[in-house]
């Protein structure tokens, strides 16, 4: 196990963050081997054994618990629910398995084209943001909810959640975000049947 242990907070390679998949038997798979720097493929992750998934680097660990979908951002825990007609429905914290994992990077390329000297042009690729999370389909009373939450770590901006939610029914509700069990934000988020709503929420 790597995630949750403070001594592991640096990437073993020049890349700012690497993904970590912790398994229930105490083993793990990392994007780059912590000793040899040998790369591993995202598709080699065994989702059936997964207990924690997230990123490590820059002196930090950010991950979520596969058993309940709750995010751990360093020392803080974040959970999300949907409140509709005075009834609150947990989107995280339920006894589901949130193992439909997501991981991607945002980047850019700069081209230095060949000049009159005849030298070949050069490209410089830069990763600007690291992302991880999951998607989950669940039933809340009569509604089927599709919920996706991705934690994004831009290198030059604040960390934020990309929250995407849709329902097969119209729901006049709001998102409730908790930090360490206390409500830190309520976001009016009425849902129209079969249409997705997307919100970016800066972590605080």
Confirm if 189 and 174 have CB atoms less than 8 A apart: yes
For 23-56, the pLDDT digits (tens) are 999 999 999 999 999 999 999 999 999 999 999 9
3-class state of residue 101 by DSSP: strand
pLDDT of residue 114: 54
Which residue intervals of 26-184 are DSSP H helices? none
For 126-144, the pLDDT digits (tens) are 899 999 999 999 988 788 9
Spell out the domain ranges in the chain: 18-202
pLDDT of residue 130: 97
Distance separating alpha carbons of residues 93 and 78, to the nearest angstrom: 10
pLDDT of residue 118: 53
pLDDT of residue 111: 63
Segments in the chain below pLDDT 50: 116
Query: Is 23 exposed, middle or buried, given 0-12, 13-18 or 19+ CB atoms closer than 10 A?
Result: middle
């Amino acid at each position: 196990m790597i995630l949750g242990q403070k001594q592991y907070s640096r990437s073993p390679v020049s890349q700012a963050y690497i993904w970590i998949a912790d398994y229930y038997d105490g083993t793990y798979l990392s994007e780059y081997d912590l000793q040899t720097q040998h790369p591993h493929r995202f598709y080699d992750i065994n989702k059936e054994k997964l207990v924690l998934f997230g990123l490590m680097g820059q002196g930090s660990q950010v991950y979520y618990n596969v058993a309940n979908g709750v995010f751990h951002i360093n020392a803080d825990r974040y959970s999300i629910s949907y409140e509709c007609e005075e009834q609150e429905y947990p989107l995280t914290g339920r006894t589901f398995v949130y193992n439909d994992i997501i991981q991607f990077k945002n980047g850019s390329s700069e081209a230095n084209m060949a000049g009159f000297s005849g030298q070949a042009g050069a490209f410089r690729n830069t990763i600007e943001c690291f992302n991880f999370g999951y998607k989950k389909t669940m039933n809340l009373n009569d509604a089927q909810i599709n919920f996706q939450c991705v934690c994004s770590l831009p290198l030059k901006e604040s960390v934020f959640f990309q929250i995407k939610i849709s329902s097969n029914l119209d729901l006049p509700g709001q998102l409730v975000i908790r930090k360490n069990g206390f409500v830190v934000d309520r976001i009016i988020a009425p849902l129209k049947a079969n249409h997705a709503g997307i919100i970016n929420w800066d972590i605080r």
